[in-house]
Amino acid sequence: MRVWIAAFVAGLLFSFGLAVARMIDPARVIGFLDIAGTWDPTLAFVMGAAVIVSGAGFALIRKKMNRPWFADRFHMPTRTEIDAPLIIGAILFGVGWGLAGLCPGPAIALLSLVPDLVWPFVAAMLAGTALHRVIAAIAARRRMGG
Amino acid sequence: MPEGRLMEMYVHLTQLGTIQGAILGGAMIGLAAVVLLAADGRIAGICGIIGGLTAPVTGDAGWRIAFLIGLLFGAPASVLFFGVPAIHMQASLPVLIVAGLLVGFGTSLGNGCTSGHGVCGLARGSGRSLTAVLLFMATAVLTVFVVRHVVGG
């Protein structure tokens, strides 16, 4: 129960922050990406502040905590290799982000504010995720089969 | 406190659209990532949280759903304090669908998006995440350039 409440609070804070930073406005995101046009650099401060706060917090957690408050261990990513899926995935994501001005966090947060505008994007995003999972599962089975 | 002063403060808060709003909002996003890691030992990557739901490990779905419900409530809650944010969807429906497919497929293949690689990954000092962030920033900038200044110009 405590695990769920903490996750709920984290989601709430995250979404609140996106709204306060105005990062949930696709036009603002595109304005930030439009370096050749009327560039709006404000969103760089969102990313900067987020990375500074989480960087300091993560360092403190690593130094002071052996395990999380409500769970038995930390689930940290362990991979370090820079491989083709990472590179191709990031490129495809960048194209999609630039086309719509939406990434997954703001898209979900917007479902509660302007569902009629954002649901096609969210539905397509879930379909894209599912499509990749299916392809990855087929590829893994083929590798195991010989 | 006189009512006029209070109103003035409220108006001031609702006009936090610029640098202060960006820093305050960004700090909240960072804090959310810290809370999730310290309390639950989890990384606040939105696409990873969603992706984990498509093939849930036993007992693993609860915190993911709780986080996503929080994500749904946070933006409307902010309206109470900071007013209704302006939202402009510029992409047409077909573009929106293509973009959604690319975002879903790409973040699943590349194991992360703006929050997973961009916030949490950079905060951990991950080389994989730095690579991903540079790549998706560059292609997003390039995409906007092509759409706005080559095709649309």
Question: Would you say A5 and B19 are in contact if contact means Cβ atoms under 8 Å apart?
Answer: no
Which of B42, B110, B144 comes nearest A86 by C-beta?
B110
What is the rounded distance in angstroms from the CA atom of residue B106 to the CA atom of residue B23?
28
Mutation for B interface: A129, A135, A138, most B CBs within 10 A: A129
Helices B61-82, A2-20: inter-axial angle, 10-degree rounding? 40
In this prediction, residue B6 carries a pLDDT of: 59
Same domain, B54 and B98: no
Inter-chain touch A99–B38, beta carbons under 8 Å: no
Count of structural domains, chain B: 2
Residues B12 and B55 in one domain: yes
Residue B11 and residue B80 share a domain = yes
Return the pLDDT at A12.
Answer: 96
Residue B92 has pLDDT above 90, yes or no: yes
pLDDT of residue B33: 96
Best to test chain B binding among A2, A3, A8, A13 (most B CBs inside 10 Å): A13
Average the pLDDT over B130-148 and give the result.
Answer: 95
Chain A residues whose CB is inside 8 A of the B52 CB are: none
Q: Residue B5: its pLDDT value, please?
A: 64
For B12-50, the pLDDT digits (tens) are 555 555 788 899 999 999 999 999 999 999 999 998 898
Q: Are residues B113 and B71 in the same domain?
A: no
> Least CB-CB distance to B74: which of A14, A67, A107?
A14
Return the structure tokens found at A83.
Answer: 């491989």
Share of chain A above pLDDT 70, in %: 99
pLDDT cut 70: percent of chain B above it: 86
Per-residue pLDDT, B14: 54
Residue of A25, A61, A133 with shortest CB distance to B55: A133
User: Residues 6 to 25 of B: which have CB under 8 A from any A CB?
Assistant: 16-19, 21-25
Residues B8 and B82 both lie in one domain: yes
- B30 shares its domain with B18: yes
pLDDT digits (tens, 9 = 90+) for B103-136: 999 999 998 989 989 899 999 989 999 999 999 9
Question: Which pLDDT score is estimated for B12?
Answer: 54
3-state secondary structure chain A: CHHHHHHHHHHHHHHHHHHHCCCCCHHHHHHHHCCCCCCCCHHHHHHHHHHHHHHHHHHHHHHHCCCCCCCCCCCCCCCCCCCHHHHHHHHHHHHHHHHHCCCHHHHHHHCCCCHHHHHHHHHHHHHHHHHHHHHHHHHHHHHHHC
Same domain, B17 and B80: yes
Interface test with B, best of A5, A16, A35, A88 (most B CBs within 10 A): A16
- Residue B94's domain comprises 88-153
Let me know whether B17 and B76 are in one domain.
yes
Same domain, yes or no: B121 and B72: no
Q: Based on the fold, state whether residues B109 and B137 are members of the same structural domain.
A: yes
